[in-house]
Structure 1
Amino acid sequence: METAQHGARTALALLVTLLLVSCAGPSQEWARPGAARISKLAVLPFENQTSSVRPGASVSELLVSELLASGPVAVMDPSEVADLLRRENLDPADAGRLPSAQRMGRLLQVSHVLQGAVTEYRYRPGLSETPVVGVTARVVDVATGDLVWTASYARSGSSWRQEGLSSVAQSIARDMAAHLSGALGDARAR
């Protein structure tokens, strides 16, 4: 009887640990100490580095929604960002080079530009398919050209909770918005 109770407690402890790990924050995050607060942020469409069709656009849209909901960061309307990039014939993937990110930011008239990539967006095969999402992001201060914040997230969902890819991506976007707002959010907007 004692062995059965011990086994049940061990299984419960493992389950709780697994849940906590699957809800964890960024795998890596860095913010420049003393960096200027964000007065207005342009979120560029995320680069898609996966074989899936549209996760880059989906994750950047989720992030904009989460940033708007979190409050302390003013975010430029994504349709205005897309229009200007199209009009100026600019590729968001070029924002990976700091001079390009600065130029885009100046054209968009924002203080900071967020550029990112979806590095993984798939179901991991196995006994049951588990959703897996990986995202990297970075923020450039338009005035200085400095990289002021960067993070990478890798998260697995749960097949037994019937969690989908978009649910895992939403969780990452929510955490990313919270960490970014805390690190660089404009205190006046709080």
Structure 2
Amino acid sequence: MNIQNTFTSRIRLIAGAGLLSLLAACSTVDRAPSPELAKDASWAVLPFENHTETPMAGSRAESIATAILQTRGVNSVKRYTGDAQQDALFDGQNGKRREDALSWAREEGVRYALLGSVEEWRYKVGVDGEPAVGVALEIVDVSEGKTVWSGTGAKSGWSRESLAAVGQKLIRNLLDTGIAKAR
């Protein structure tokens, strides 16, 4: 009986390790340490680049990021009002669009700007149709023009999970680190 208990314990341990590795494979995140940021400073969410084939993926991620900043205590969050549309996959205007948005932020007196790009925003093809999201975010100190924080991540969900929910979890995970020391 003792041999069977040992065998059963090892099977459970291997199964548990396998399950944990399977869950860990569903999400990858890399990010810089959190900088000292002022929550009461003026913030702006600038256009996210859309590197996907999904129309408006950048705008969807921007909306989620704006709401998460506000729920995390950032009081003043503005949205860029200029030409933010970028649905052509290879339109070649990303650099100009970024500079125009940063100029707008300077004119508005914004201290920090959140910029991003969406690398993946889709349901995977297959029986389960799992949602998959990939984003890269950066916080720029507008007055200095330098990036003070950046993070990137990818996450997939389960077959019955919504694409927006997976995107929200990933963006929240990234931003919670990016603004963790904001006071």
- Cα distance, 1:57–1:90 mapped onto 2, change above 3 Å: closer
1:137 offset after TM fit, Å? 1.4
* Alignment partner, residue 45 of structure 1: 47
- The secondary structure found in structure 2 opposite 1:179 is helix
Higher Cα Rg, which structure: 2
Aligned with 2:54: secondary structure? coil
Distance in 2 between residues matched to 1:6 and 1:55, nearest whole Å: 45
Aligned to 2:131: 131
Shift of 1:170: 0.7
Tell me if structure 2 keeps the 8 A contact 1:130–1:158: yes
Preserved contact between residue 64 and residue 75 of structure 1 (Cα < 8 Å): no
Does the C-alpha gap of structure 1 residues 32 and 178 become closer, same or farther in structure 2, counting only changes over 3 Å?
Answer: closer
Unmatched runs of 5 consecutive residues or more in structure 2: 87-92
Per the normalisation by structure 2, the TM-score is 0.77
Question: What residue is the counterpart of 1:6 in the other structure?
Answer: 10
In the alignment, does 2:170 pair up with 1:172?
yes
Distance 2:59 2:104 in 1: 18
Partner Cα separation in structure 2 for residue 50 and residue 182 of structure 1: 29
Take 2:34 and 2:172, find their aligned partners in 1: how far apart are those partners? 21
Deviation at 1:143, TM superposition (A): 1.1
Q: Counterparts of 1:18-33 in structure 2 under 5 Å? A: 18-22=22-26, 27-30=29-32
Call closer, same or farther: CA 1:156–1:69 in 2, change over 3 Å.
same
Q: 2:89 is matched with which residue? A: none
SS in structure 2 opposite 1:60? helix
**Match of residue 144 from structure 1:** 144
C-alpha deviations, 1:84-129, integer Å up to 9, x for none? Answer: x25xx998944775x5454122122210111111111122334533
Matched residue of 2:144: which SS?
coil
Q: Pick the aligned partner of 2:19 from 15, 20, 44.
A: 15
Change (3 A) 1:158 1:95: farther
Structure (1 or 2) with the greater helix fraction: 1
Residue identity over aligned pairs, in percent, reads: 28
Specify the alignment match of 2:75 in structure 1: 74
Partner of 2:58: 56
Of 102-111 and 43-52, more deviation after overlay is shown by: 102-111
Root mean square deviation, CA, Å: 3.0
Q: In structure 2, the residue corresponding to 1:19 is in which secondary structure?
A: helix
The separation in 2 between residues aligned to 1:61 and 1:90, in whole angstroms, is 14
Give unpaired runs (5+ residues) of structure 1: none
Aligned length: 172
Specify the SS of the correspondent of 1:76: strand
The letter of the residue matching 1:148 is: V
| Closer, same or farther: CA 75–55 of 1 in aligned 2, 3 Å | farther
